[in-house]
Amino acid sequence: MKILFVTDLHGAEWKYDRLCDIARADRPDAVINSGDMLPKGDNLFRQNAFITDVLDRHFARFDAMGMPYFCYLGNDDLRIWDNLFDETCRKYPCIHNIAQRKASFEGVSFIGMNWVVDYPFRLKDRCRMDSPDYTFQPQLGTGLLSTPDGWTEVHDWPGYARKLPTIADELAALDRPECMDQSVYVFHMPPSDLGLDVCVNGQSVGSRAIHDFLAANQPRLSLHGHIHESPEMSGAWQAALGDTRCVQPGQQDDEFAYVTVDLAGMTIDRQVDFDLISIGW
């Protein structure tokens, strides 16, 4: 099975168009889009327009090609749009929202999770402690959670987060695949300790709980995103964790990074295309 994988497109329409062109030319068996799908601009409360307009048309194209497409929203996509996103996916038989869900296709299980380990930034819609002994990073302000009426401010974010399930809890609650060797885990958050989680300041912020889950369960493949600059910082966009191959292609604003995987032979390639318009061609 050939998989085409992208992550962190953040509403860049030229990247969605490029993804569609590549899929049409290369005919992968499945496409995976690992979150942060919507524009990050100044008004996140208008992200719904992108779902009903651009994303709906994008999904319709893949559905017309009969190409399975597994996806979910990410930490910069407000949780108030989860229902709209799910309804939009459900319009098309080929489109599958795999946030905290398993979907199976041709004997392969695709299992998604879009919670992330807490960070200093204020938007906390999908943030969790990694495990019960997690130490919070210094915060850039009070926490913010989206509601249909605007932001709710959380003054004691660590106190609030301590009452939520941890990433380790969320991983334990996921559906199990029929066979780990025929499973693909899709986590927006990268694992720790593999060089797939290095921020621009050099700090490694990956999830220890995800690392330990993958080490213990040994799926065939795990796909990640979230830390856009990590491949440039660490020099690594893939790593082996026992028999599991872990991939984090990164994503820069003026480039389109994507990965192709042939699950049978485990051939994994990363491509980075430039936006010819933005570099003046």
CB of 254 to Zn ion, least distance (A): 15
Asked if 125 interacts with Zn ion (CB under 5 A), we say no
238-241 vs 221-223, strand pairing mode? unpaired
Ranges within 37-76 binding Zn ion (CB under 5 A): none
**For Zn ion, which is the closer residue by CB, 8 or 170?**
8
User: What is the 3-state composition of the chain as percent helix, strand, coil, each rounded to the nearest 5?
Assistant: 30, 25, 45
CB of 93 to Zn ion, least distance (A): 28
Only one of the segments 8-16, 87-95, 164-172, 214-222 lies at the binding site for Zn ion (rule: CB under 5 A); that segment is 8-16
Q: Which residue is nearest to Zn ion (CB)?
A: 36
CB of 262 to Zn ion, least distance (A): 26
Per the CB < 8 A criterion, the answer to whether 35 and 188 are in contact is yes
CB of 249 to Zn ion, least distance (A): 12
Per the CB < 8 A criterion, the answer to whether 207 and 194 are in contact is no
CB of 77 to Zn ion, least distance (A): 9
Q: How many residues bind Zn ion (CB under 5 A)?
A: 2
CA atoms within 13 A on the CB side of 142: 8
Q: Which one of 36, 77, 118, 212 is in contact with Zn ion (CB under 5 A)?
A: 36
Asked if 118 interacts with Zn ion (CB under 5 A), we say no
What is the C-alpha separation between 151 and 144, in angstroms, rounded? Answer: 6
Asked if 130 interacts with Zn ion (CB under 5 A), we say no
Only one of the segments 4-12, 78-86, 96-104, 158-166 lies at the binding site for Zn ion (rule: CB under 5 A); that segment is 4-12
Q: Which of 98, 68, 96, 110 is nearest to 220 (CA)?
A: 110
State the DSSP code for 46. Answer: G
CB of 269 to Zn ion, least distance (A): 22
- Measure CA 231 to chain center: 15
**CB-based contacts of 148, cutoff 8 Å, min separation 6:** 80
Q: Which one of 8, 118, 125, 170 is in contact with Zn ion (CB under 5 A)?
A: 8
**For Zn ion, which is the closer residue by CB, 76 or 130?**
76
Other Cβ atoms within 10 Å of 198 Cβ, number? 23
Only one of the segments 21-29, 32-40, 60-68, 193-201 lies at the binding site for Zn ion (rule: CB under 5 A); that segment is 32-40
Name residue 110's beta-bridge partners.
103, 184
Name the residues that contact Zn ion, by CB under 5 A. Answer: 8, 36
